[in-house]
Structure 1
Amino acid sequence: MTTETKVSICLPTYQRPDLIVQCLDSCLSQTYPNIEVLIGDDSKDDRTKALIETRYANEPRIRYRKHEPSLKQPRNIASLFARATGDKIVLIHDDDYLAHDCVDRLLRAWTLSPGIDVAFGDQYEVDEAGKIDIEGSARLNVAYFRTAAAQGLQRLPGRTGVIQMLPNNGWMANADLVKRISYKERYGLGCEYVFGTEVCLAARGVYYLKEYVSYYRKTGVSITTATRASLGAATMLAYDFLVHLALPPPLEPARRIALRRMVPIVVSIYSKNGAPLRALRVALTHLYAYRYGLDRRLYFHLARIAVASLKPSHGVPQRAD
């Protein structure tokens, strides 16, 4: 891969001027020179705009746009993809950041396997101050099936997205594929999972590098954290998408792997939000997610469902789905 290949780094941001500097500096300090950095700012105030106009006033690689009114996450990211002029696209969120040679490393996947459409690597897990948690990083990647045994060209590209092996950002993909799939507003906070699944299902090839290429920051203030116990939580929307998704037979085991992670969360959220019958239906439909009764979470959730069923309904339709 030569420097003729242009890479567009897409950076959505919302109310994080204190964190975006580290993210943006990580993009601009890439060892690979032929890049552009597109920023989509959904912030309610002008702090990020002022920062860009002062700190990065003489940086020609930055293409900044302030959204008034804000677009919200799916449309913001979709607009960044649409604006990208590069051959490849990298996505990085404003509270995360890239390794200094991330672009170089990910581009190397096309040298190793020229027919691919998507490449990704491991993520470091860091705290709010940016301190790396080495053990936490190892657990994070193992939890999402990023292991030494899995490195290289993926035998079933679609599986990579279904089981969430593809990270939510820090990946690289051919721009034409990314623009064609894009983020979809109708999936709300589940748009990340939907995009990852759809882009891998459509990809000719997906390559996993067993190398750290990005940093994932654990923060206590994010849209996902604030809504994780609500019916609009990302997992709820991802679950609804996945159970209705048509998959070829070889990918059915991947669906079960993904649902093992999602189902206990979905059951818990339904029971907390006045929908015990839905919670029970989901639990009984996917008993394998509880190891057919060997997982003690099943009994905890059944108890919670029983308690919730005795409380007055809060208006959530008790659909048996």
Structure 2
Amino acid sequence: MLVSICIPTCDRPELLELALASCLAQTHAPIQIVVGDDSRNDATQTMMRTRYGNDSRIHYVRNTPPLGQGLNVASLFTRAEGDKILLLHDDDLLEHDAIESLLGLWQRHPDLEIAFGDQYVIDIHGAVDLEQSRAGNIAFYRTKAAEGLQKAPGRTGLVSMFPNNGWLANADLVKRVNYKAQFGSGCDFAFGVEVCLAASKIYYLKRYVSSYRVTPGAISQTTGASMNSAAVEAYRIVHGLRLARELEPARRVAYKRMVPIVVSTLSRHDEPVKSLKLALMHLHAYNYGLSPRFYYHMLLIGKSMLHRKRGRLANT
């Protein structure tokens, strides 16, 4: 069975080369590697032509002008020819048997639509942090007890159990849901939520299948940096969803993860009133006041209010 590995890339040829090596080392041989390049210089294009120009498994396109993350990934899905699609970001890696391990689940469950596993956390040099990897998977509800077919597939996306890449899914489902540019830096999360809500059978395998590289520019390292951050976009997405009643508890779990980040972001961008309302509306995200983080955020909100008051006085 042909599996299409879709890799969006931008100005990181040295990391892309490592990602490609992990794809070419797969124990499952029938693969197509589709690369979409948003780079601002020619380094990646030159590397791809020099190193992989004669490899028929790799289909490379330079996007001119750059498409942006959402449209780049969407274009990769469109170009994918396989029965299954796997997304891999250019700074991440696949375990050598990732596709074989995930694809094998379809033999046990022929009507399966999505499969995913655990992620290692690696640093910029590729060193694995085992403790952070263990803690990270637990934080995203990837535990031994959760292994198997998911009873509520939609919950898998809402609570961020579904990883941002390294998953394997039916191509028709992936293309039907697709990435959407309007979600900006939240497009990974938006896709994860939408594809899980659209699926009827999802399997979580308690096994490491990919590695997530922590790089200086990683979105997860700057979640509260701006009003267009991934956390803010994720809150907007979850807040705007119409969900079945049985999925409302999953929405509350999602809020508990993202609301404190959004409250902090709003207060740091001179929106103290919105920040306060959001915090009070979702007190469960702060264990109803038992979390020290709540009082720290109240301090941030107070400082933001004082800053706004001084600004108004200075303008009178």
| TM-score using structure 1 length | 0.95
* Partner of residue 168, structure 2: 172
C-alpha separation in 2, matches of 1:239 and 1:221: 21
* Partner of residue 195, structure 1: 191
Match of 2:210, as an amino acid?
S
* Distance verdict in 2 for CA 1:168–1:43, change over 3 Å: same
Match for residue 156 of structure 1 among 129, 152, 156: 152
C-alpha separation in 1, matches of 2:294 and 2:162: 28
**SS in structure 2 at match of 1:167:** coil
Tell me how many residue pairs correspond in the alignment: 311
* Partner of residue 89, structure 1: 85
What whole-Å deviation, never above 9, does each CA across 1:81-119 have from its counterpart, x for those lacking one? 011011000000000010011110110111122211100
* Distance verdict in 2 for CA 1:150–1:17, change over 3 Å: same
* Partner of residue 222, structure 1: 218
C-alpha separation in 2, matches of 1:12 and 1:209: 25
* Partner of residue 47, structure 2: 51
Q: 1:304, CA displacement in angstroms?
A: 0.8
Q: 8 Å contact 1:115–1:205 — kept in the other structure?
A: yes
Matches within 5 A, 1:125-144: 125-144=121-140
What whole-Å deviation, never above 9, does each CA across 1:22-58 have from its counterpart, x for those lacking one? 1001111111011100000000001001001011122
RMSD: 1.4
* Partner of residue 9, structure 1: 5
Match for residue 309 of structure 1 among 294, 305, 312: 305
* Partner of residue 238, structure 1: 234
* Partner of residue 27, structure 2: 31
* Partner of residue 319, structure 1: none
**SS in structure 2 at match of 1:31:** coil
**123-132 or 304-313, larger mean C-alpha shift:** 304-313
C-alpha separation in 2, matches of 1:119 and 1:223: 24
**SS in structure 2 at match of 1:312:** helix
Q: 8 Å contact 2:189–2:234 — kept in the other structure?
A: yes
Q: 1:228, CA displacement in angstroms?
A: 3.4
* Distance verdict in 2 for CA 1:150–1:273, change over 3 Å: same
Q: 1:204, CA displacement in angstroms?
A: 1.7
Q: 1:225, CA displacement in angstroms?
A: 3.8
Gaps of 5+ in 2: 312-316
Gaps of 5+ in 1: 316-321
**SS in structure 2 at match of 1:304:** helix
Q: 8 Å contact 1:273–1:314 — kept in the other structure?
A: no
C-alpha separation in 2, matches of 1:161 and 1:108: 22
* Partner of residue 273, structure 1: 269
Q: 8 Å contact 1:157–1:205 — kept in the other structure?
A: yes
**SS in structure 2 at match of 1:311:** helix
What whole-Å deviation, never above 9, does each CA across 1:269-321 have from its counterpart, x for those lacking one? 00000100110011000000000000111111111101101113899xxxxxx
